[in-house]
A and B are shown apart, each in its own frame.
Chain A
Amino acid sequence: MANHVESIREPLVHGNKNLKTITNDVLGIMDKKPTRLWWIGFLLALSALTLGIVAVSYQIMTGIGTWGLNKTVGWAFDITNFVFWVGIGHAGTLISAILFLFRQKWRTSINRSAEAMTIFAVMCAGMFPIIHMGRPWMAYWMFPYPNTRGPLWINFRSPLAWDVFAISTYLIISAVFWYIGMIPDLATVRDRAKTRVKKAIFGFLSFGWSGSFKTWHRYETVYGLLAGLAAPLVVSVHTIVSFDFATSAIPGWHTTTFPPYFVAGAVFSGFAMVLTLLLIARKTLRLEDYITVKHIENMTKVIILTGGIVTLSYATEFFMAWYSGNGYEQFVFLNRAMGPFAWAYWIMVGCNLITPQFFWFKKIRTNMLMVFILTIFINIGMWFERFVIIVTSLHRDFLPSSWAMYKPSYVEIATLIGSFGLFFTLFMLFIRYMPIISIGEVKSVLQFKGRSGGKK
């Protein structure tokens, strides 16, 4: 890594920290009693989760006839949620792996929480297809294994089978990456633990990490390798999710740009969600010195970039629908903009195309309240994007006699709320019981006063 840092660069961490204060600031959160704000958030999330559990139990017992699906619209709400949550997850891996490969040091303050978010989001995502199977207790049939049914193997030509592999690999590798990154910090927690119970728990969790440099040396190599593996992995995951749609011959779904467009959209929505969460976390946990305005600004810039790619994809798709000379393709896009789901389409356009343009202005980028509001709009817009893509392409296709409408049932909405509940419950527990900032990595980018002159 470049070891010479120009003095005009803004420091990554504010407030004249030294190594000790970093440890105390970050781990102090775990020592204190939870604040009232935390309890409110946690209980809200927990009640949403409870609602979700009730809804999921009900629909599993009754069957997925409780959803608003019909013969024409066979995929709608749950797949929208699935794609939405997978997309949210992408920002974490992008921050931890791709920014690592691009040597963007500002990632160190935010990668831990973003990675945690990835794991929770992928868990939420995985829930939906499993429920949609109707018989979730048979979920293990998705994996190929010799069985007494033939052996009847799975169909490897199906993009849905690819999804199974992609999502489970993604979950496993992200979790490993996250945990490996956390071991040194868990050892720090162990070494400052006051009570025996805490010492024992974190002693176990930290796998006997001693800070040995011989271990560090190999560890760094592995971290680089994992980043190199996770970067194409994250791209492949949303690519494969986009294949679910793009391999079909349905107008509005079958378009070759889907893979990169979905990846960009995923990063776009993921960064919006990371910003939403981090803005809350930095405020309530007083982490302003670590997650600085500069961090927020950098993330909004990534949003401008990925928002630009999303805009370009909308433009290309619309243009190409006209250019193709294919009447069905043209109809789907006109129907999106002017048909019965036009409201959803314009919410999507408004939120995803116009919102990020505000970030061109430094005044808005540095105004935390504005950033917070705008990222929420992007979250909403990206949910609607998936809804528009999925539902509008299905509800009016080749045969007008089988056109139909779609309306989500209460059960489906409750399940969506439940998934948010799961996500936030896990996130609240995480910021309370785990080191939410990568202490070791932040320490390594801390610039010593007067020693930044490139001297080893």
Chain B
Amino acid sequence: MKKYFVVSFDNEYDLVDATQDFRDNGFNILDAFTPYAVHGLDKAMGLKPSRLGKICFGFALIGLTIGLYGQYWISAVNWPINIGGKPWNSMPGFLPIAFETTVLFAGLGTVFTLLWRTGVLPGRQPISFAPDVTDDRFVVVLTEELSSFKSKKAEAISMSHHAVEWHEKLESE
């Protein structure tokens, strides 16, 4: 059975310092819960940079290809029509729409990937370890096998970083 150790702080600086301390002392950090994106917490938690940038780039390329080739195929291959004497392959005139499709694909693709990867979707219920994390509490959650958890040490670290509150929780609860 797993055990969770939930520590709350009232400001971001204590949270970042404490998280760093927990990690240096070999604790396993499940996640942190904060009212806003705390700067520097990703380093303290040891999170890798997100790969969503690459996803975005990939979607942008898809959008660009569809935009360019789609217009070319429609205007020059499938049904060429002479309009105002413009060439069938009017590339300068295709670029505006190609740009729009690039942005549209990249934007929507990235956002949907984000929602899918993080599980933030309509109808989901939030996981909650402590109250007020969307208001003014900064919470870090440690997890470990029940038998191997060093509670004393965790409490000491919490105390030294001015934690406002901490409690333990079992997986089954």
Contact = CB atoms under 8 A, between A and B. Distances in A.
Interface string B82-104: 01101000100110110111011
A144 B33 CA distance: 46
A346 interface: no
A369 interface: no
Interface string A200-225: 00011011111111111111111001
Given A1-B39, A156-B94, A230-B107, 11 more contacts: A19-B135, A162-B97, A188-B35, A203-B125, A207-B123, A210-B33, A216-B34, A217-B37, A217-B42, A217-B47, A218-B52
11 contacts: A151-B79, A156-B75, A162-B96, A211-B134, A212-B127, A213-B32, A218-B118, A222-B50, A229-B103, A230-B107, A243-B96
A308 interface: no
B42 to A, nearest CB: 5
Contact of A226 (B107, B131, B134): B107
A236 interface: yes
A189 to B, nearest CB: 9
Given A213-B31, A225-B53, A191 B132 contact: yes
Interface stretch (A123-131, A267-275, A436-444): A436-444
A319 interface: no
Given A150-B79, A216-B37, A236 B100 contact: yes
Interface of A: 1, 3, 18-20, 23, 144, 150-153, 155-159, 161-162, 165-166, 169, 172-173, 176-177, 180, 183-184, 187-188, 190-192, 203-204, 206-222, 225-226, 229-230, 232-233, 236, 239-240, 243, 439-441, 443-444, 448, 451, 455-456
A176 B111 CA distance: 8
Contact of A23 (B11, B56, B96, B136): B136
A229 B123 CA distance: 28
A80 B100 CA distance: 23
B78 A151 contact: yes
Contacts of B32: 212-213
A153 B104 contact: no
B124 A208 contact: yes
Contact of B120 (A172, A191, A208, A239): A208
Nearest to B48: A217
B124 A157 contact: no
B110 A187 contact: no
Contact of A19 (B35, B122, B123): B35
Interface residues of B, number: 68
B75 A157 contact: yes
Interface string B23-39: 00000000111111111
A58 to B, nearest CB: 34
A338 B96 CA distance: 36
Contacts of A215: 118, 120
B53 A233 contact: no
Contact of B74 (A156, A159, A177): A156
B39 A3 contact: yes
Contacts of B107: 172-173, 176-177, 226, 229-230
B37 A208 contact: no
Pick the 5 closest A-B CB pairs, nearest first: A208-B124, A19-B136, A213-B32, A210-B126, A221-B50
Contacts of A233: 100, 103
Contact of A208 (B16, B52, B71, B125): B125
Nearest to A220: B37
A156 B35 contact: no
B129 to A, nearest CB: 9
Contacts of A23: 135-136
A208 B133 CA distance: 13
B128 interface: yes
